[in-house]
Amino acid sequence: MAAPSQISFEQRIDALKNLPKVMRLVWHSAPLVVSSSLLYRLAAALTPLGVLAVSKRIIDLVVDTIRTHNPPPSHQIWILLALEFIFAAGGLVLGRAIDYCDARLADEFGRDVSVRLMKHAASLDLPLFEDPVFHDKLERARIQAIDRISLLNAMGTLFQRAIALASLAAGVIYYDPWIFVLLLFCVLPAFLGETHFALVGYSLAHRMTPIRRELDYLRVLGTSRESAKEVKMFGLADYLRDRYATLSKSLISENNKVTRRRLAWGAAFAIVGSLGYYGGYTFLVWQALESKITVGTLTFVAGALAGVNTELQSLFSLFSSISEQALFLTDLIDFFAVRPKIRSKPNAIPAPRPIRDGIEFRDVSFRYPGSEKMVLNRVNFRIEPRQRIALVGENGEGKTTFVKLIARLYDPTEGAILLDGVDLRDYRVEDLRKEIGIIFQDFFRYDMAVRDNIATGRVELIQDDAAIWEAARRSGVATMVERLPGGLEQMLGRRFEGGVDLSGGQWQRMALARAYLRDAQVLILDEPTAALDAVAEAEVFANFAELTRERIAILISHRFSTVRLADRIVVLADGRIIEDGSHDQLIASGGRYARLFEIQAANYR
């Protein structure tokens, strides 16, 4: 396991470079909490030295009194005792205040980073989400948002400890600088050891991310509602469980190895550190026995020395834990640094309204990132305003891809798509997408209320009951919604309590309602009636003319009853448009469309 060597020294330094960025994130998430926490920590850092200084005075006073039988004025003793009490009690109160600030900060930071993550993820390109490497990165970033909260604590504590250390060290150095140097040398190996193991831990976690993701996936498969039917029917439960068990065992044993080594070395280094402390302490005791220092000074310096020892050790382990966390945070910072390729140019223009000239494909070729195969190959194509076309083709010929390009979810590999004579890339992306209503083949079923499921078509209308009911009526889902106990507020899906699941066709009508709600000039329906029964399909068709009035409509369907509704039919095959015309024309020409139509028609006879 050559883990540490996988991360170079430069990368570590690089990771530390992230700390200022992280601190900025922390600061922006809650400036008030951060500043009060720092203030409290500053005060708390100075209390140990205060306590020691006061108790040195008290002890010297007591010893003097015993020796000389000459008691000091009693108010002097009272003041000192009161002072020590104030320091001690103040320290306790400050500790609670710091705990409170830390808890607040953890919440605020978690919230802030999660919101930023969501916002940033939403801005990124679709192809990224289909890339497993990106997924690992996103996953690590997500966990860091929740998990790296100990970093906040560690940074605050580092600040506090550093100040406490400096004040105590000043006390020791004031007496004898060499004791301090001795101690420093004894603690150094622990620091190097901790840093080393932090590296090993990170590179282990890094390598294990894909395994963790697979584990999560297996766990979900084994326990989720979506997979339960198939898992039961195919008897997959044992297989999935064994696979999970084997994988997680290997993960745990790797982790164990590192943890054991880390603990063993940590113990050895701690012993070396203690040696330094006791070396200094022995020297002090000797000095006191030879009356070179007072008993008060002995307790003061011994106390400061013990303090320095613990502070140093914890400072080093804190520092290495911070550099470890910083390594982990590299992924978060990296994730925030990913920039979408598909975004509005600086001088992008608003989308045209109304569309006057239509959409044109000019020599458009496209292949998915990381794939060799050209899905579309030099496609030339034009659709006029208010035209309704049907896109036909066998599975995998690129129909869905074709419409994804129009929505600019991807950009063409070669060629250009024009809207009203202007390249899609010159429009503001958000504007363009607003003008396109698209119901995907694999439309999403939101585990939310009926209202939300329909209003996702146009979220501004989420409170507009009339508009939502109208869309529901047109898509044929209204009668079903009326019968639901919760009406528009009825929770759908099984994820949350009280949720009602719908049939495939009912879900599809729900998605169609979104299309009715959307005020887009281009309407794209990818297999809108695939799950509908004959009656429902007939209803949709009855409304189809109305749905697509004054709009460009692109309809993808394998059902020729649906296809016939279009003004024009376009057949995709081998990455090209091989036929283009009305139903009657294509039947008459006797090509691929005529053949497909004939096969389907034959089944109905």
Binding site residues, ligand ATP, CB under 6 A = 130, 368, 371, 375, 393, 395-401, 441
Torsion angle, alpha carbons of 138, 140, 146, 150, to 10: -150
Select from 332-340, 370-378, 441-449, 590-598 the region that touches Mg ion (CB under 5 A).
Answer: 441-449
From the CB of 127, what's the least distance to ligand ATP, in Å?
7
Q: Which is nearer to Mg ion, 399 or 518 (CB)?
A: 399
From the CB of 399, what's the least distance to ligand ATP, in Å?
4
- By CB under 5 A, is residue 317 in contact with Mg ion? no
Q: Which is nearer to Mg ion, 362 or 445 (CB)?
A: 445
Q: Which is nearer to ligand ATP, 374 or 480 (CB)?
A: 374
Q: Which is nearer to Mg ion, 388 or 399 (CB)?
A: 399
Distance between CA atoms of 182 and 515, rounded to whole angstroms? 76
Distance between CA atoms of 421 and 428, rounded to whole angstroms? 15
| Single-letter code of the amino acid located at 420 | D
295-337 and 74-123 are packed helices; what angle lies between their axes, rounded to 10 degrees? 10
Q: Which is nearer to ligand ATP, 394 or 584 (CB)?
A: 394
Residue 223 contacts which entry, Mg ion, ligand ATP, none (Cβ below 5-8 A, type-dependent): none
Residue 47 contacts which entry, Mg ion, ligand ATP, none (Cβ below 5-8 A, type-dependent): none
Residue 520 contacts which entry, Mg ion, ligand ATP, none (Cβ below 5-8 A, type-dependent): none
Distance between CA atoms of 113 and 104, rounded to whole angstroms? 14
Look at the block and give the residue holding tokens 């095959």. Answer: 573
From the CB of 526, what's the least distance to Mg ion, in Å?
6
Distance between CA atoms of 7 and 28, rounded to whole angstroms? 30
Distance between CA atoms of 99 and 111, rounded to whole angstroms? 18
From the CB of 15, what's the least distance to ligand ATP, in Å?
33
From the CB of 127, what's the least distance to Mg ion, in Å?
17
Burial of 176 (0-12, 13-18, 19+ CB in 10 A): middle
- By CB under 5 A, is residue 400 in contact with Mg ion? yes
* CB 209 within 8 Å of CB 140: yes
Per-residue b or e along 315-349, where b marks 16 or more CB atoms closer than 10 Å to that residue's CB: bbbbbbbbbbbbbbbbbbbebeebeeebbbeeebe
Residue 393 contacts which entry, ligand ATP, Mg ion, none (Cβ below 5-8 A, type-dependent): ligand ATP
CB-based contacts of 584: which residues, under 8 Å, 6+ apart? none
Residue 74 contacts which entry, ligand ATP, Mg ion, none (Cβ below 5-8 A, type-dependent): none
Q: Which is nearer to ligand ATP, 400 or 475 (CB)?
A: 400
From the CB of 96, what's the least distance to ligand ATP, in Å?
53
Residue 398 contacts which entry, Mg ion, ligand ATP, none (Cβ below 5-8 A, type-dependent): ligand ATP
Q: Which is nearer to ligand ATP, 313 or 400 (CB)?
A: 400
Residue 194 contacts which entry, Mg ion, ligand ATP, none (Cβ below 5-8 A, type-dependent): none
Look at the block and give the residue holding tokens 């939310």. Answer: 448
Distance between CA atoms of 600 and 563, rounded to whole angstroms? 12
- By CB under 5 A, is residue 529 in contact with Mg ion? no
**Residue of 377, 362, 498 lying closest to 424 (CA atoms):** 362
Distance between CA atoms of 269 and 237, rounded to whole angstroms? 48
Residue 256 contacts which entry, ligand ATP, Mg ion, none (Cβ below 5-8 A, type-dependent): none
From the CB of 221, what's the least distance to ligand ATP, in Å?
21
Residue 156 contacts which entry, ligand ATP, Mg ion, none (Cβ below 5-8 A, type-dependent): none
Q: Which is nearer to Mg ion, 394 or 501 (CB)?
A: 394
Q: Coil, strand, or helix at residue 392?
A: strand
Question: ω into residue 177 within 30 of 0, thus cis?
Answer: no
From the CB of 143, what's the least distance to ligand ATP, in Å?
25
Residue 395 contacts which entry, ligand ATP, Mg ion, none (Cβ below 5-8 A, type-dependent): ligand ATP
Report the alpha-carbon angle 348-119-25, nearest 5. 115
From the CB of 215, what's the least distance to ligand ATP, in Å?
24
What are the phi and psi torsion angles at 578 (to 5°)? -100, -20
Report the alpha-carbon angle 346-348-350, nearest 5. 145
Q: How many chain residues touch Mg ion (CB under 5 A)?
A: 3
Q: Which is nearer to ligand ATP, 251 or 342 (CB)?
A: 342
- Expressed in angstroms, the distance from the first to the final Cα of the chain is 68
| Chain length of the chain | 605
Distance between CA atoms of 248 and 218, rounded to whole angstroms? 11
Q: Which is nearer to ligand ATP, 346 or 370 (CB)?
A: 370
From the CB of 400, what's the least distance to Mg ion, in Å?
3
Q: Which is nearer to ligand ATP, 398 or 476 (CB)?
A: 398
From the CB of 397, what's the least distance to ligand ATP, in Å?
4
Residues that bind Mg ion (CB under 5 A): 399-400, 441
